[in-house]
Amino acid sequence: MSVSASVSAAASVQTICPPLPVLGRDVTVPLVTGGEVTYAALDYAASAPALQRVWDDVAAYAPYYGSVHRGAGYLSQLSTDLFENARRTVAEFLDCRPDDQLVFTRSTTDSLNLLAAALPADCQVFVFETEHHASLLPWTNAQVTYLNAPRTPRQAVETLERALADRDPYGPALVCVTGASNVTGELWPVRELAAAAHAHGARIVLDAAQLAPHHPVSVQDLDVDWIAFSGHKLYAPFGSGVLAGRADWLREAEPYLAGGGASRKVSRREDGGVDVEWHESAARHEAGSPNVIGAYSIASACKALTEAGFDTLVARERYLIEKVREGLAEVPEVRVLSLFGDDAPRVGVISFVVDGWNSSHFAAALSAEYGIGVRDGLFCAHPLVRTLLGSDAQAQGECGAPEAAPGEKSLNAIRVSFGAGTPDEHVERFVNAVRELVTDGARWNYRTEDGRCVPDTSA
Ligand SMILES: Cc1ncc(COP(=O)(O)O)c(C=O)c1O
């Protein structure tokens, strides 16, 4: 089917499937040029707005909030049930195996650091250089092989197979791979990579931070050993994340944090020391008072997305993706960044550069003159963005810090990202704004302040 045919096919889905209600949909922001507009949140890949349903569920629970796994009181019992039910709901959402463990963490970064801390001795880790830093960096205790950026999904599988073929076949090994790139939105061939890993006796963890909010994910169908994602990208911004998967490495590892909740029995020894028996369940890695609202909000989001139906959500998102891609394709100065090419399946995450524009300047103008929130920078995936830009951009210091001087040639990129709560008008405004900025230029002057490009309001 041609792109326009697929857009019109998807358009009929779109008319019967409005965006899901999210918080902030009526928030207005001031424009530097005067007046106000409703804010167009097009930075879902960083943090998505909360689903109204999630907010309502949390508000309904809030008066009943109590301690988890600790109190004898009614509300404590209720909160404990809610927390453990949330664990079951999320495991169901991910289609985990019956004997998998699901640990509530703070985020994807936390989940992957937990797994890194649970690696068996002498574990080899294989990770593509294209990963988000959360997947690229936690493996400091392992022997890591960084794989070069592939240019096709097939090449990704072949690159991994070659690397695994050279490894010590008897030692433990882990492959870490993203489901959908936080830079290009492109889907990675997770099932094929999992098959390659398993064929060589390695395990695989899926970074689903950008996949789970956009696509149904089945741990069993993809045959991944672990999966990690964050609540705040899945419309549940209450500080929780998830690591789910095989119990053995988690059970055998030292607790991620030592403390109450993780310990089953603590006793003084005769020599004056302390003996600890740690839990073998997920509680082993959930020391301290659990974030029950965070866990509950993730479960609520999982239910809301499932009830909305991923078929319709995916179809609607595809329609928005094509609207943006077609709009950007009409502006010759725009170059969309891609590893796998135009036909690669993708989620609603699109990065690009504009000839003659510094990306920070462009993003600042989108915000100040059009009320559109996007992100600029290297998106915590420095090696990938540098490869895609073909530039020698130097390390940018803090995550997302921009090359700031307005008018300079771009050494970083602009990312627009959207999802289940995005109305058509937001992407239409974005496409029109890109066209206008490129054709007419910015209507305001900008300057650099604290490393960021901001409207100059001093005149
Ligand atoms: C692909 C990917 N993995 C991991 C992360 C880290 O997520 P968090 O910041 O929630 O830990 C991100 C965040 O942008 C991401 O896009």
Are 179 and 219 contacting, i.e. CB atoms less than 8 angstroms apart? no
**Domain 65-307 grouped into CATH 2.60.40.420:** no
Residue among 132, 178, 183, 382 whose CB has most ligand 1 atoms within 8 A, to mutate: 132
Any ligand 1 atom below 6 A from CB of 182: yes
15, two tokens:
């008319």
Q: CA-CA distance, 333 to 434, in Å (whole number)?
A: 10
Residue 384: what pLDDT? 94
CATH superfamily of 3-50+309-455: Aspartate Aminotransferase, domain 1 (3.90.1150.10)
Q: What local confidence, expressed as pLDDT, does residue 406 receive? A: 52
Please give the structure tokens belonging to residue 47.
Answer: 């943090």
Q: Does the beta carbon of 130 sit less than 6 angstroms from any atom of ligand 1? A: no
- Quote the ligand 1 centre to 225 CA distance (angstroms): 19
pTM over 0.75: yes
Q: Cα separation of 354 and 366, whole Å?
A: 13
Q: Is the pLDDT of residue 274 over 50?
A: yes
CA distance 410 to 413: 7
Residue 17 pLDDT:
84
pLDDT at 391: 65
Evaluate: CB of 178 within 6 angstroms of ligand 1.
yes
Catalytic residue flag (residue 380): yes
CA distance 81 to 64: 12
| pLDDT tens digits along 22-43 | 999 999 999 999 999 999 999 9
**Residue 378 Cα to ligand 1 middle (Å):** 13
Find out whether 305 and 17 touch, Cβ atoms under 8 Å: no
Atom of ligand 1 nearest to the CA of 179: 1
Average pLDDT value for residue range 449-457: 88
Binned at pLDDT 50, 70 and 90, residue 254 comes out as: very high
Digit-coded pLDDT (tens) for 430-448: 999 999 999 999 999 999 8
DSSP letters for 79-100: HHHHHHHHHHHHHHHTT--TT-
Q: Domain extents for the chain?
A: 3-50+309-455, 65-307
pLDDT of 415 reads 98
